[in-house]
Structures are given as C-alpha cells and as structure tokens.
Amino acid sequence: MKFSRFPLTLCLLVMAASPAKSQTVHNAMSFEQARAAFLERSEQLAASIKSVDSARLRREGMEGLGGPSVSITGMAYRYSANVDVDLDPARRALGNGISLLPPQLGGAVAQLPSLPSNYDLQRKSNVGSASLAAVWPVYIGGLGDAVRGELDAMTDEAVADAASSRAQLQTLLVQRYFTAQLADRNASLRRRALEGVRAHDDAAQRMLKAGVISQVERLQASAALADAQQQSRKADDDARLAHSALARTVHAGAAVRPSSPLFVSSEALPPLLQFLDSALNHHPGLSQVAAKQRQAASLHDASEALRKPQVLAFGLREVNTTGKPSWVAGVAVRWTLWDSIDRDKLSAAGLRKVEQAELMDAQVRSDIGLLVEKNWLAVEQSRTQYLAGQAQENLARELLRLRQAGLKEGTSTTLDLIDAQLNLAKVQTERALVANQYVQALAALLESTGQSDEFSRYMARADIQITADTP
C-alpha cells in the first residue's frame, strides 16, 4: 500500500518565496513574535499608515477654509513715456484772440515769441510701490463646511482602509505561519514512516535469505521503501519552502521555524448571531461605505453652496507712500443668476451619488453577513471533522498494534505491518490538514467580523494542540 500524496496548501508560499539554497539555520518564533515582527516591518501596512497621515494633514490644512486672507504686493518698474503734443489748435486760437484785442495791447502781445507747432514731451523714471490687501469671505453658502466634511470623510475612509489592510495582513500571516507548521508536521510524519519502512525493509531482506518470504514480497518491501524515501524528501522540501516564505513574510534574516502549534478547540464557537452583530459594528468595509456616503453628501452640499450668493469683505492700503497713504475698503456681493452650466442636473447627479452609496451599504451588509455565516460554518465543520477523525486514528493505531503482534506470532506479514504504519501516518497527516483548515477558517471568520486582533485569544483557549512532533 503506497502512502498517498497529500498536497499542502502551499500556493501562497510559492508566490511569496523564490527558490533559494537550503537553509540550515532556523529561528524558532512563536506566533505572537511573528505577528509583532510582521506588523512592525510590513511595507503594505506602513503605506496605509502614510495614507492616513496624508489625509489627516490635508484635513488640518483646510481647517481655516473660508477665513480671512491677507496678502502684500510689491512692484518695482521703470517707465519711459514719449508724447508729441500738437499745439496748432492752440496757436490758431491764440491768434484769433490777439486780433480781437485793442491795437495797443495786441501789438505788445504780438511781439511775444510764438508757440511752436508741436511739443515733444519725454518722461523717464523708476517707481516702486507696495500694497496690503485683505479679503474675508463673510458668507459663501456653506462651501467651507462642505469641503471640510468631505475631507473628514476621506480621512475616515483612509483609516478604514488601513484597518482593512491590517486585518488582511494578519490573516495572511496566519496562513503562512500555520501552513509552515503543517509542513513541519507532515515532514515529521514522513520521516517517522520512513524509519519504520526502512527497518522492515531490512527485516524483509533477512527473511528472504532465510527463505521465509518470497522474492515478490521482498520487491514489494523495496518499492514501499523507495516511495517512502521520495515522499520524505518532498515533505522536507515543502517544509524548507514554508520556512523560507515565513521568514520573508516577517522579514527575518534566516529561515523561521514556527513554535506555536496547530490547534483545535473542542468547544463550539459562540452563536452565529454574535459574530454577525460584531461584523455590523466593527467590519472596516462598512466604515468605508459610510465614509463614501458622507463624501457623496458633502459633494452635493458643495454643489448647492455654489448656487447661493457670496459676500466678501475686502480692503487695500498702500504701505510705502511718503504722504498720506491711499486705501480702499468695502463689501462685495456676487450671485450667479445664470450661466452655461445646468446646476439642476449637477444637483441631481449629486443626489444619485448619495443614493448609490446607500444602496452599496445595503449590499455590503448583505455580503458581509453571508461571508460571516460561510466562515462560521467552515470553522464548525473543521472542528467536528477533526474530532470525528479521532476514531479513525484510534482504529489505525490499533491496527498497527495488531500487525506488530501478528508479525511476532507469524499471522501477519512485513507488508501488512508497513501498510499499517503508512496508514497511521496518512490518517495523522489528514487530521493535521483538517486542524490547519480550522485555523485558517477561524482567521477568516475573525477578519470578516472585524476581530482579527482576537485570534491570539482563541488560540490560547484551544484545548487541542498538534505540534510537529506529536506522536
């Protein structure tokens, strides 16, 4: 009987770890240590935190929107003005006026120099000026509050995105950490099975020489040994790959050996309704949708604010004049009565966005509820499957004991004993896989309910632990 190959869930590991030389140094690391290192060094989590910081700083920067602003303007310039003034009209008017004067007076005036026909005026100078201006939006229709409301909602969305990233990363860590633990368990079982098969292969060789068994039985024992060796090598390779992937995940310098065992709780989970309530209160996806709703409402408010009159107070004063400075102050009112943009349709578009966000909220709540129920059932199914597998493991152990006793009494063959040993290893591997499925389903359930940080508490309360060396 061949030990059937039991595939490990290593597709994630293959994506995370590139082929590398075998590492002989293994750092033992508990799940809590791995979690702390992972969250501290994760580039994705750091990027999401930067996004939150950016959103908060942007909101703080717009706190004073709609308040007064003061600016100073300075100018320095040089000018050259050339003006050609035509004096002919003035000469003609003066000549006509002289002709009307008494002869004595007219003669005296006529002796004066005559005006030229034109005069060329040139002026050059360097000028500098400065002015201080102030503008205060007294009323802008609530535009400032609408913009600040949208920025608040964008900040909340960034916070929800960061929380979602953190939860997903913790679930990813659970997958890689306990898949590595499963790979260790599988490698240990394969090595143990190989040792037993090798011992019985040696015994079969001696029995063949003694004429106790046939050549066919001897060849069957050799074939079982070759298969066991190949399976053990593959399990060791899978374990090395899992260790390397986990090391890359937590940014460790050497391969990491998980020290926290796989676990299963024999106690049933709390009722489904409790997890559904938690999801509706803590799932970051709902916070994201709520932030989208507020953004849509703020955009609609901003669009409505542009339709209202705007009142501005302003003032301007020269600051570098040597005499009495010039100044101006007043109030300006602006109200757009009509323009080429259809404000009614823009307002209707904003309302559609609000309605879209409300519908998304209802859909997300339904999807989250279905996801929570699916994950809750997956945890319970894995738990009951693991517990039910105890009877099969007990049977496999008893069968092995009977085959060992039968071999001594001559009622069983070496191949019967090898089959019993491989069958026990197969059953134990299957149960370890089910335990890993329980752990992964639990992590997914806690993520879907916004309780990823509670994983360690569930792990500590589990009363069944399966280490790599568990017999």
Q: Which tens digits make up the pLDDT trace of 300-342?
A: 888 888 888 989 898 888 886 666 778 888 898 988 888 787 8
Compute the C-alpha angle 87/89/92, nearest 5°.
110
pLDDT value at residue 350: 84
pLDDT value at residue 380: 96
Over the stretch 337-364, which tens digit does the pLDDT of each residue have? 887 878 888 888 888 888 888 898 899 9
Give the chain's domains with CATH numbers. Answer: 29-65+141-466 (1.20.1600.10)
CB 196 within 8 A of CB 407: no
Rounded Cα distance between 285 and 278, Å, is: 13
pLDDT value at residue 102: 60
Rounded Cα distance between 69 and 135, Å, is: 5
> DSSP string covering 6-66, please?
-----HHHHHH---------EEEE-HHHHHHHHHHH-HHHHHHHHHHHHHHHHHHHTTTTT
Phi, psi of 440 (to 5 degrees): -65, -40
E strand or H helix that includes residue 156: helix 143-209
Rounded Cα distance between 312 and 200, Å, is: 97
Model-level pTM?
0.77
> DSSP string covering 98-149, please?
HHTS-HHHHHHHHTSPPPPSEEEEEEEEEEEEEEEEEEEEEE-TTHHHHHHH
Q: In 3-state terms, what secondary structure has residue 87?
A: coil
Low-confidence ranges of the chain (pLDDT < 70): 1-26, 84-88, 90-119, 320-323, 470-471
User: Distance of CA 174 to CAs 135, 250, 274, 405, 456, Å?
Assistant: 58, 12, 23, 42, 10
